Structure 1
């Protein structure tokens, strides 16, 4: 009883700060019992503030609201006890809080700002994209970017910084281009990979780059600070990566051993795995709501492709269909339509096939996009912002534009002398498209 009396009779620091002390005298003798305080302080929840970075950091202690000790007389939650123990351990050891993991890498620093852009480009970037179909196609060569020494596997526009373009090359580098800068268009040359880089993707809302390559790693880079923020190690060469459109902290990776893994960049761990005894993953793409994704592999059996294209349910981790494409060709690229329930697959049969995105995911046997060539190159295709046009690279170095509804060839422009491996529509300016080649060149048309 004496211990309980002493515990409940002690005045906490919070009570002292809340108001004047009580005028009721408190006996100090061992035989006297102290009366309970007038009002015990309530536990109040604090508003959660999301971290500025995508990884959990050590919480900062607020000097204005000190942590309560177990002897303060009020309830102390488990979280507060853990924070108190952590802070005391750091004070006793005299060492500061561990810094966020970052690794410097060899890079060429250029300008990533938009202060030196052309006036018309700057005006177009500040305007929101207009709804409806585009009024014209890219016709003239706007910028030619050179810097890679080997083939370029893909290009990707930054959705939050529209003047920046990233490219991944077989020369072990990732280039960041300030495309319309009047001075130096090379903003960054990132050399954080030790082997060929197969894919690169911008974060949806931040100037972060996610890249994967043949060194069996996926790396997240802060382009502004020039630091590798996180390294995700794999047991396979990474062929393709994609962010989940409904959650920018989640990305999917596919590699040479056929493994598909869903990663959380906040904790750096795998949250889901998708197993099907697949061959090398050639490409993946999420549906608009992020609940499904499609994968393309190089697994073939006899004259009928088995598991060449699989539609997956993300939550249940099960294939919804693995008999989508039954022709004896592999597909180096798959893309969901941005607005309609359909998706397309670039086939090594030198055409693009179209499928329904609803069960039973049937192939449209009466329409295909033909005229360009693939011939074993990793040729990719992409939809325009409105979804009315489909652009594709080609083994002859040209960019082909098709009407989505009729599959009719609308226009062909010559971009390179060798194979054009990827095309990417600008996220804001609908009549701007970037393309890359097997010889290491990038051409931007407008």
Structure 2
């Protein structure tokens, strides 16, 4: 929340912090690498997104509220996550509340070009909403497996689990696979696929990293990483045996 973006050299013992960028005027909410690893796209609480050229160390572009190209409206509450499908023709949004029917608006597939929701495709997801009041905290689409991974957090704390849906219409829920054992306890815990989609890793409020077999939903491994909550886990894009994780107290770790 100090307005900065840090890039780390995980293989260096002496110079772990490679560079720091201070372009935001408020706390930074999220950061994404470009596919080639040459740019960073960040968003912050100053209501701006910033594209940063890593090699030059310069801010390439700034995107602010008055530069919006398209706006998608449906009376939604705070947006928790957004993810494009593999063909980029649709994207999925999730929120923790809405002004209307929660089951209709908590998670929506949108048509990018027409700017309309394809909510009639989401019956299997909507059906879930009547069981408990859920937050759909994390949405991931895996290209190879054609699956949609959704981290479901119950506001009643009765259930916290990861569900699998098809990433293609009609976006059916896989009723036979549910990934559970990790805990959330009110933290914005995130999860991730590995490269081939065979494994799923999730953080947990108990400071552990949980590894699941994506096919069987079996818990394969539980690894203690922190004393405080483990917030997120990411697999290395090239080396399958390397993961990075971060904790609630600000620690970032790399494991082999």
Q: Give deviations 1:177-236, integer Å, cap 9, x for gaps.
A: 01102420101122211211110011122521111011111111122222212111127x
Distance (Å, rounded) in 1 between the aligned partners of 2:174 and 2:37: 38
Higher normalized strand content (fraction of residues): 2
Answer yes or no: is the 8 Å Cα contact 1:197–1:214 preserved in 2.
yes
Pairing 1:412-431 to 2, within 5 Å after superposition: 412-431=222-241
Of 153, 177, 184, 2:8 maps to 177
Distance (Å, rounded) in 1 between the aligned partners of 2:65 and 2:229: 30
Structure 1 stretches of 4+ moved >4 Å: 300-304
Indicate whether 1:340 and 2:149 are aligned: no
Q: 3-state SS of the aligned residue for 1:440?
A: coil
* Bigger relative contact order, structure 1 or 2 (CA pairs below 8 A, ≥6 apart): 1
Pairing 1:41-440 to 2, within 5 Å after superposition: 170-234=1-65, 269-300=67-98, 305-321=103-119, 323=123, 324-325=125-126, 326-327=128-129, 328-349=133-154, 350-440=160-250
Residue 76 of structure 1 is matched in structure 2 by none
Q: In angstroms, what is the RMSD of aligned CA positions?
A: 1.9
Distance (Å, rounded) in 2 between the aligned partners of 1:312 and 1:302: 18
Answer yes or no: is the 8 Å Cα contact 2:75–2:98 preserved in 1.
no
Distance (Å, rounded) in 2 between the aligned partners of 1:181 and 1:380: 27
Distance (Å, rounded) in 2 between the aligned partners of 1:389 and 1:418: 24
Answer yes or no: is the 8 Å Cα contact 2:80–2:137 preserved in 1.
yes
Shift of residue 362 of structure 1? Answer: 2.4
Distance 1:193 1:301, change over 3 A: closer
Q: Give deviations 1:45-75, integer Å, cap 9, x for gaps.
A: xxxxxxxxxxxxxxxxxxxxxxxxxxxxxxx
How many residue pairs are counted as aligned between the two chains?
Answer: 244
TM-score (normalised: structure 1) = 0.52
> Which residues of structure 2 form unaligned runs of 5+?
155-159
Which deviates the most, 212-221 or 339-348?
A: 339-348
Distance (Å, rounded) in 2 between the aligned partners of 1:302 and 1:276: 9
Distance (Å, rounded) in 1 between the aligned partners of 2:190 and 2:210: 11
Answer yes or no: is the 8 Å Cα contact 1:299–1:306 preserved in 2.
no
TM-score (normalised: structure 2) = 0.88
Q: Give deviations 1:253-310, integer Å, cap 9, x for gaps.
A: xxxxxxxxxxxxxxxx543322212111101112222222211111257995331111
Distance (Å, rounded) in 2 between the aligned partners of 1:229 and 1:354: 37
Distance (Å, rounded) in 1 between the aligned partners of 2:108 and 2:98: 13
Q: 3-state SS of the aligned residue for 1:306?
A: helix
Distance (Å, rounded) in 2 between the aligned partners of 1:196 and 1:230: 18
Distance 1:204 1:302, change over 3 A: closer
Distance 1:206 1:441, change over 3 A: closer
Q: 3-state SS of the aligned residue for 2:118?
A: strand
Distance (Å, rounded) in 2 between the aligned partners of 1:303 and 1:293: 20
Distance (Å, rounded) in 1 between the aligned partners of 2:217 and 2:56: 44
Answer yes or no: is the 8 Å Cα contact 1:202–1:209 preserved in 2.
yes
Distance (Å, rounded) in 2 between the aligned partners of 1:385 and 1:288: 14
> Which residues of structure 1 form unaligned runs of 5+?
1-169, 236-268
Tell me which structure has the larger Cα radius of gyration: 1
